[in-house]
Amino acid sequence: MSHQHSVETHLGVVAADYDRVIRTFIPGYEQMLSTIAWWLSEVVPHDGRVIDLGGGTGALAESVLTALPKVRLEIWDVDPKMLAVARERLQKFGTRIRLRERSFTEKLEECNAVIATLSLHHLSTLNQKRAVYSNIYEALSKPAVFLNGDCTMDLTEPARSIILRYWLKFMVAHGISEADARKHFSEWDKEDTYYQISDELTALAQAGFPRPEVYWKEGPITVYGGMKS
């Protein structure tokens, strides 16, 4: 992703307010984070190295660094305002955290895990995703895991409409009017591309992951990825 993505432009919220607002947008947000942290705790060596792609305000990083008290983690993000929020949030972890203004399309360095939440949907084609997945697979040591928490969407009816209704009802229940929720969907469509989970798993397999897997799902939000062993 060569352009400078900005959460303030994309979501219409300032970076410092992201953590509150995202919980009104995303079903199962806390469970998504805790699922990723738990799987990392089962796979990554106690002093391993993790790269968080598009790590934003550091919410996922905080969950991981807390659950794995000796792991080292790098956040890669192209939005300097988000990184500034993450820097303040994660300073308590000292030298275990490193923040880098880099795109997730750049070549990765060797690590024990790669993680991401709500960022890889900015890749607009499956070919681009497959290239990123290949880059991730090549960077992973053994044993290692890639975990991505993001929106997946069936492209056929009636499943697509059912999931959209689920998502709409969630947002309305969290204080967003139906009109505003539909407006958000329209705005996100300009930058975000969601694929059905079968296509994501196929792309992961083509990138080298031998057994791509779904680790958790609620409505449109899915944690999926694969292991390297």
Q: What is the CATH number of the domain that holds 90?
A: 3.40.50.150
Query: Is 182 a domain residue?
Result: yes
Tell me, what's the pLDDT at 15?
52
The residues of the chain scoring below 50 in pLDDT are 1-12
- Other CB atoms within 10 Å distance of the CB of residue 79: 23
Whole-prediction pTM: 0.92
Query: Is 89 a domain residue?
Result: yes
Tell me, what's the pLDDT at 18?
83
Tell me, what's the pLDDT at 160?
95
Query: Is 124 a domain residue?
Result: yes
Q: Provide the H-helix boundaries in the chain.
A: 7-11, 18-25, 29-43, 59-67, 80-90, 126-139, 159-173, 178-188, 197-206
Query: Is 2 a domain residue?
Result: no
Each residue's pLDDT tens digit, 169-210: 999 999 999 999 999 999 999 999 999 999 999 999 999 999
Query: Is 40 a domain residue?
Result: yes
Tell me, what's the pLDDT at 7?
43
Residue 56: half-sphere exposure toward Cβ, Cα within 13 Å: 22
Query: Is 37 a domain residue?
Result: yes
Tell me, what's the pLDDT at 34?
97
Query: Is 181 a domain residue?
Result: yes
Give me the residue label for tokens 């219409």.
Answer: 12
Number of structural domains, the chain? 1
Query: Is 221 a domain residue?
Result: yes
d(CA 5, CA 70): 31
By residue range, what is the domain housing residue 142? 7-228
